[in-house]
Amino acid sequence: MRVLIITSATVCGGAEAYALTIAQAAAQSGWETHAAFPLADATASLRHEMTAHHVTYHSLEIAEPLSRGIRAMGDAFVRWWRTRSLLLTLKPDVVLINLPWADHCLGSILACGQLRVPTAVMFHLIPPEKIPLSRSRRQLYTWARNRGQQWLTNSTTNCCLLAELFEMSADDLQFIYNGITLPALEDCTPEKRAMLRQAVRQELGIPSSTRLLLTVGRLAPQKGYTDLLAIIPSVLADHPDTRFVWAGAGEQQQELHDRLREAEIDHAVLMLGHRTDLPRLLQAADLFVFPTRFEGHPFALLEAMAYRLPIVTTNASSIPEFIEHREQGLLCPVGDSKALLHTLHWALQHPKQMQQMAEKANQHVNHFSQEHMLEQTLNRLQTLAFLTKKESNPTTARNRALEPVVKEQKRC
């Protein structure tokens, strides 16, 4: 089977990591796997990884411009034409369109709809503030969806947000939770954790007794770094042996760096940039701090749970679906720096209770394995391709392909 994975991103984040994971699994399953996304400096590592796992890369310039109205529709036409040309060349059996943002890839979605290529559209991120969609744009999405497309997302919260955004029934959507590779028991022994704690602190040039508060995520407004930055002086006043470690890169990097210097706390915040050794950092840290403002189903939190790292995060989006306050971690209101400060103080003063929550989180994360995510996703793609080939009636094929991925009832 020939599968094509399309994404519009020019950066490497969670949605792009998901695309890579699906592509690797498809190639390992013996599928002829292709990936298409814009050629950009920030996606160089993604292109390299795709090629290394026998995925054929195609340059597809469909990055979303900052335009609205008539100009935006013109841009969508250009991206429709480019996607259509690639589809006619490759003739894929099924397409997975991977959306880092809810209103991206209209041109590609329309091209797949026009050619009636079996298509799954995965919506990763739907912000709580409604994206402005014109009536005509919404109608185009609906037209394409009704031509053999299955729309997916990664949480029940996102199902409801997506249904509201496109003025459709949540019953017409399905969700598949994100999943991660669970670490082997021998990789998480107390002895190895102690060794990594010492090694990482030595690499960072800080004392072995220093407490590390780790944050992983793009340096972008969505991730709430400014909410965390505002309270760091107060945390240091009560806990001077604390250092904050930020692993990630993004458009806010220079702004955050300048603000840290202005506040004279840059010595206490280590900005490491993009890292490929997150398991080491997760095992070396004392606390995972995730002040995000909205999410899909964040891989970063799942990985922290898998490595038994105590968690302080917000109640944004889908997070309460898998972390219950004071059970698997501590939750505070989105954008509330005072609540975040209070929660961090409590966490630092009660390490035993935090570790107990981390143990519960570690048991709970078994429900979110990468194996389960891959099985459900590849089955959806295979079903879409098979039914479209076997059934002459496109409507019947689509209805059967939309059988529930999970049996859990969605509630908005």
**338-352, 360-374, 394-408: segment of lowest average pLDDT:** 394-408
Nearest to 1, CA basis, from 82, 75, 65, 94? 94
User: What's the average model confidence in pLDDT over 330-357?
Assistant: 97
Across 263-276, average pLDDT = 95
Across the range 317-327, mean pLDDT stands at 97
Confidence of residue 257 (pLDDT cuts 50, 70, 90): very high
The pLDDT of residue 11 is 81
Confidence of residue 405 (pLDDT cuts 50, 70, 90): very low
**pLDDT in the model for residue 364:** 96
Tell me which residue of 291, 295, 243 sits closest to 271, measured CA to CA: 243
| Strand-pair partners of 7 | 98
Mean pLDDT score of the chain: 91
pLDDT given for residue 397 in this prediction: 43
Exposed e or buried b per residue across 46-71, where buried means at least 16 C-beta atoms within 10 angstroms of its C-beta: bbebbeebebebeebebbbeeeeeee
For the segment 69-114, what is each residue's pLDDT rounded down to a tens digit? 556 667 888 999 999 999 999 999 999 999 988 888 999 999 999 9
Which pLDDT does position 403 carry in this prediction? 46
CA distances, 201 to each of 91, 194, 196, 249, 282 (Å): 52, 11, 8, 21, 13
Domain 185-368 has CATH 3.40.710.10: no
Residue 93 CA to residue 147 CA, distance in Å, equals 15
What mean pLDDT do residues 287-316 have? 96
**Distance (Å) of CA 284 to CA 306, 323, 365:** 14, 22, 20
- Confidence (pLDDT) at 285: 97
- pLDDT for the residue 400: 46
Q: Give 18-39 pLDDT, tens digit per residue.
A: 999 999 999 999 999 999 999 9
- What is the Cα–Cα distance from 261 to 253, expressed in whole angstroms? 13
Name the pTM for this structure: 0.88
Amino acid letter, 403: E
pLDDT over threshold 70, residue 258: yes
pLDDT of residue 348: 98
Q: What is the pLDDT of residue 269?
A: 98
Separation CA 104–CA 374 (nearest Å): 23
pLDDT digits (tens, 9 = 90+) for 107-121: 999 999 999 999 999
| pLDDT, mean of residues 378-383 | 96
Fold match, 2-179+370-401 / 185-368: yes
Tell me the average pLDDT across 319-325.
Answer: 97
Q: Which CATH number fits domain 2-179+370-401: 3.40.50.2020, 3.40.50.2000, 3.40.50.720, 3.40.50.10090?
A: 3.40.50.2000
Residues 143-179: tens digit of each pLDDT: 999 998 999 999 999 999 999 999 999 999 999 999 9
Check residue 404 and give its pLDDT: 43
Rounded to whole angstroms, the Cα distance separating 412 from 404 reads 17
**pLDDT over threshold 90, residue 48:** yes
The amino acid at residue 1 is M
Tokens representing 220?
């972008």
pLDDT value at position 410? 52
- Domain locations in the chain as residue ranges: 2-179+370-401, 185-368
CA 402 – CA 398 distance, rounded (Å): 6
pLDDT at position 68 is 54
Percent of the chain past pLDDT 70, that is, above it, reads 92
Q: How confident is the model at residue 401 (pLDDT cuts 50, 70, 90)?
A: very low
- As a whole number, mean pLDDT of residues 298-315 equals 97
Q: Which residues does 157 contact at the CB level (< 8 Å), separation at least 6?
A: 317, 318, 321
Query: Identity (one letter) of the amino acid at 256?
Result: L
